[in-house]
């Protein structure tokens, strides 16, 4: 059976379109995986911070027993932040905001805890406290870097799935845009330093 030139042309066009669709699909999967991995790295950095907090609280507790309210707020904020779980596959703007708020509350509580050292010269000089403080500062930098990396990867992913003609395939195969981390509430106000 001999095929006509038009039939061969149609078959060739279908093959080319299928090859392009497979390539486009695979590139969207790759970008999505980069974004979910970057989000897992953010969660890992937050977990590191949560793991350091009990040690810091115990060191401070020994020196500042009557700072009970501050210590309890850190413990409660840590519990709330570690109970809040979010999955990149079903991340909504509301869940993202709730996750960021829980992490922001923990950061604020940690800031208050670290400020306690000003009232306790012995605590400030304690080697365990200093080591934990340095580790927490490093962890906060890691969190910031992980969030920035995540935002960059999500930007690339969102661009890939929103550009024509891949946006047609993205809609067909359920690739949705992902949310980025935003600044914490109140971050636009510079802190006041008073001496």
- 79 contact partners, CB below 8 Å, separation of at least 6: none
Q: How many CB atoms lie within 10 A of CB 15?
A: 10
DSSP letter at 187?
T
pLDDT of residue 6: 93
Give the alpha-carbon dihedral of 123, 128, 129, 132, to 10 degrees.
180
pLDDT of residue 187: 58
| pLDDT tens-place string over residues 56-78 | 888 888 777 767 788 888 888 99
3-state secondary structure 58-118: HHHHHHCCCCHHHHHHHHHHHHHHHHCCCCHHHCCHHHHHHHHHHHHHHHHHHHHHHHHHH
* DSSP code per residue over 128-181: HHHHHHHHHHHHHHHHHHHHHHHHHHHHHHHHHHHSTTHHHHHHHHT----PPP
Separation of alpha carbons 152 and 34, rounded Å = 10
Helical axes 127-162 vs 5-63, angle rounded to 10°: 160
In a structure prediction context, what are the per-residue pLDDT tens digits for the chain, which is 195 residues long? 788 999 999 999 999 999 999 999 999 999 999 999 999 999 999 999 999 988 888 888 877 776 778 888 888 899 989 888 887 777 788 888 888 888 988 888 888 888 887 777 777 678 888 888 889 999 999 999 999 999 999 999 999 999 999 999 999 999 999 999 887 765 555 544 342
- List C-alpha distances in Å: 148 to 23, 50, 141: 28, 20, 11
pLDDT of residue 7: 94
């Amino acid at each position: 059976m001999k095929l006509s030139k038009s039939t061969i042309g149609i078959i060739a066009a279908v093959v080319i379109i299928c090859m392009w669709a497979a390539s486009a699909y695979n590139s969207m999967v790759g970008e999505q995986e980069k974004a979910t991995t970057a989000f897992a790295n953010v969660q890992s950095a937050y977990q590191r911070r949560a793991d350091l907090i009990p040690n810091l609280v115990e060191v401070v507790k020994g020196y500042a027993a009557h700072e009970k309210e501050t210590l309890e707020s850190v413990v409660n904020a840590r519990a709330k932040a570690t109970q809040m779980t979010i999955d990149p596959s079903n991340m909504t703007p509301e869940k993202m905001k709730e996750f960021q708020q829980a992490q922001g509350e923990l950061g604020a509580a940690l800031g208050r805890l670290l400020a306690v050292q000003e009232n306790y010269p012995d605590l400030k000089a304690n080697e365990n406290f200093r080591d934990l403080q340095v580790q927490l500062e490093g962890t906060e930098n890691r969190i910031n870097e992980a969030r920035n990396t995540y935002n960059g990867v999500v930007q690339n992913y969102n661009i890939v799935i929103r550009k024509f003609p891949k946006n047609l395939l993205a809609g067909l195969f359920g690739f949705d845009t992902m949310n980025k981390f935003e600044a914490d509430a109140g971050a636009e106000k510079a802190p006041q330093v008073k001496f």
